[in-house]
Amino acid sequence: MADNREITIKVNGKDMTTYVETRLSLGDVLREHFHLTGTHLGCEHGVCGACTVVVDGEPIRSCLMLGVQAHGKEVTTVEGLSKGEDLHPIQEAFWKNHGLQCGYCTPGFLTTLFSFLENNSDPTEREIREAISGNICRCTGYQNIVNAALDAAKVMKGS
């Protein structure tokens, strides 16, 4: 018989409570219970990085964390980056630098870089490449993603 628990997670600044099966991943909870489908699931075993969200300030693969493990934590998904109609500087930079093509990997890159740039205001290209080394993109060849990250870093430093 399925084991169910009530959990409350602060998602994008708002407390959200639901009743979940304990076997459910955080990614599935975000998508199926909270309808935040911006978090994409790719490999579902920790390899591609598409499902990355920020949990208590750290980038986490939401396919590898159980929803019940996120109880009481703060989670930022890609939906939480923009302020209403205003895109976050990282989103703006991806748009300007053509940092995406099909877009499947993009939420994972955005959340990974969001967490990284919050803690590293003046990164080198090498540090950016290291920060995104766990995210796989099959379309872009990465250069435009790196350019976007360098651009976003400049804007975030200035603001």
* Binding footprint of ligand FES, residue count (CB under 6 A): 22
Are the CB atoms for 122 and 153 separated by under 8 Å? yes
Q: Which residues of 77-107 are buried (b: 16+ CB within 10 A; e: fewer)?
A: bbbbbeeeeeebbbbbbbeebebbeeebbbb
How do beta strands 74-76 and 4-11 pair?
parallel
Tell which positions 45-104 bind ligand FES, by CB under 6 A. Answer: 46-51, 61, 63, 100-104
Q: CB 43 → ligand FES: shortest distance, Å?
A: 4
| Stretch of 3-11, 39-47, 80-88, 123-131 contacting ligand FES, by CB under 6 A | 39-47
Report in angstroms how near the CB of residue 97 gets to ligand FES at its nearest.
13
State yes or no: residue 43 binds ligand FES (CB under 6 A).
yes
